[in-house]
Chain A
Amino acid sequence: MKVDEVPQDDSKSFEGQRKRLYARNADGEYTTALSSGWEAEDVVLDQAVEEYNRFTREARERVQRGISSPLEYHMYAHRMDLTVLAQATGLFRWQVRRHLKPSVFSRLSPRKLQRYEEAFQMTSEQLRTLPAEDDKNND
């Protein structure tokens, strides 16, 4: 890649930051160049973010219908999955899976709940409820 080929696609995801890439100058020597973004990268990044957004939306619906506990919503809203959440709380996957059931979640001890509050950096009030529709940032 040559310096003048370094993409400057002004990625929104970069929030004004620029990345450093390695490219060759006119003399064929390696140097570094700043990039404001590459569209190809944006496409895949959006894809990853949107997948979590989709899970979060679907989880919200399931919580509202009483099929899942708020935990499922918060898990995806924090871009976690069962494995990551289990690791973050020091619980087993099967335990976390059980806690996704409303009946089980409502009976959780304060100590167990505290693990989730810690993992999400949320208060117990926030943990037990869904945030308002537009508010996706829980941390």
Chain B
Amino acid sequence: MTEFDHQQTAHCESGAVAALLRHNGLDLSEPMVFGLSSALTYAYIPLVKMGGMPLLAYRMPPGRIIRGVSKRLGIPFHFERFRRPTDGTTALDRYLEQGRPVGLQASVYWLPYFPENMRFHFNAHNLVAYGKEGDDYLISDPTFEEPMRADTASLQRARFVKGMLAPKGVIYYPEVITQSPDLTKAIPGAIRSTANMMLRTPLPFVGVRGIRHVARHMDKLSPANEHYNKLLIGHMVRMQEEIGTGGAGFRFLFASFLQESAGILSNDGLKAAADQFTDAGDEWRRFALYAAKMLKGRSTLDYGKLATQLRQVAEMEQQGYRMLLDLKLR
């Protein structure tokens, strides 16, 4: 059976990529994987609905972390998709027999080891399969403390659901890593990419502008729609915390990446930026706290207060990205 070093991370895609790279000889932390892929963002897209709620994203679309790291470090990844579920299972079994752990994408709803209250129809969860024992796959799901198991039928089901972000049984793994990449060259571009996107995107619902846009929207919520408004507020907090972000919509994860980069690049300015994003993260957490108190009925439902808190978040984030660009990292 293949030995696999299971490590729990905050987020699934960054965790899976880090695990696969580590297994193939390249040890990068989850924050480094996340940061290098420039995955941090903010986007509010009402036209796209998820569970009846407008799309709210604190990270770039699924797949961005794999492709972002691949591109930034020059490490090609192999991707394979299948039309027929049985073909997908046969292929997975073959890789595992060869002793190759692989990354998979699956629906959270159909994974048997997921807690009941976390099972929603989200089809872009990432995990690593590293072995098979009888009918059970040995799974290193990065968001769980210990390795898990899934029976063949369930995993096949989860890998081949139809719908938004359908996995199509995708299997992925890094191809041979020929040399240790130079992080001092990779980090500056990755940071610039994130900072530019958050500060300079012309679209009004993306980036820092997006946060302010949502704040304005919050100010204008009508008391007549209280039930929906509460669901919307709850949705914002869920996307920020519940889905596995490491806390504060990936902001703490990003701050950790900046701090690690400060050491690699010997740049104190990055340390200060890490502080700034930690503070921004704390403001996000404060937003979540206010929201939860209001939803629970422990404090008055006050859309204006939430809007003000979002503007505070926007201000802190804006300063943070400004700091990053002003460092003129090369």
Contacts and interface: CB of A to CB of B under 8 A. Distances in A.
Interface stretch (B37-45, B86-94, B131-139, B248-256): B248-256
Which one of A17, A20, A41, A83 has the greatest number of beta carbons of chain B within 10 Å? A20
B163 interface: yes
B10 A32 contact: yes
Given A1-B248, A39-B292, A87-B162, A45 B255 contact: no
Interface stretch (A46-54, A64-72, A100-108): A46-54
Contacts of B253: 22
A13 B256 CA distance: 27
A8 to B, nearest CB: 14
B145 A17 contact: yes
Nearest to B247: A21
A41 B242 contact: yes
Given A22-B253, A81-B52, A88-B161, A49 B117 contact: yes
Of A13, A24, A30, most B-chain CB atoms within 10 Å: A30
Contact of B242 (A23, A44, A119): A44
B295 interface: yes
A22 B242 contact: no
Contacts of A49: 117
Interface residues of A, number: 42
A122 interface: no
B116 A40 contact: no
A87 B157 CA distance: 15
Interface string A11-50: 0111101111111100001101010001111011111110
B255 to A, nearest CB: 7
Contact of B231 (A34, A43, A51): A51
Contact of B255 (A14, A30, A44): A30
Q: 4 closest A-B pairs (Cβ-Cβ)?
A: A40-B292, A87-B163, A30-B256, A13-B117
Given A19-B143, A48-B120, A79-B109, 12 more contacts: A14-B115, A15-B115, A18-B145, A20-B10, A22-B253, A30-B255, A40-B288, A41-B292, A44-B235, A47-B234, A88-B121, A89-B162
A83 B145 CA distance: 33
A21 B246 contact: yes
Interface of B: 8-10, 31, 49, 51-52, 109-110, 115-121, 143-145, 157, 161-164, 230-231, 234-235, 237-238, 241-242, 244, 246-248, 252-253, 255-256, 259-260, 274, 278, 281-282, 285, 288-289, 291-292, 295-296
Contacts of B281: 1
Interface in A108-123: 119, 121
Contacts of B115: 13-15, 17
Contacts of A41: 237-238, 241-242, 288, 292
Given A29-B259, A41-B241, A22 B10 contact: yes
A30 B259 contact: yes
A44 B294 CA distance: 11
A22 B289 CA distance: 18
A43 B238 CA distance: 9
Contacts of A119: 162
Contacts of A19: 10, 143, 244
Interface of A: 1, 12-15, 17-24, 29-30, 32, 34, 38-41, 43-49, 51, 78-81, 83-84, 87-90, 119, 121, 139
A45 B246 CA distance: 17
B252 A34 contact: no
A138 B246 CA distance: 32
Nearest to B112: A139
B79 to A, nearest CB: 22
Max chain B Cβ within 10 angstroms of own Cβ: one of A13, A30, A44, A90: A44
Contact of B31 (A1, A15, A30): A30
Contacts of B109: 78-79
A32 B259 CA distance: 13
A84 B247 contact: no
Contacts of A80: 121
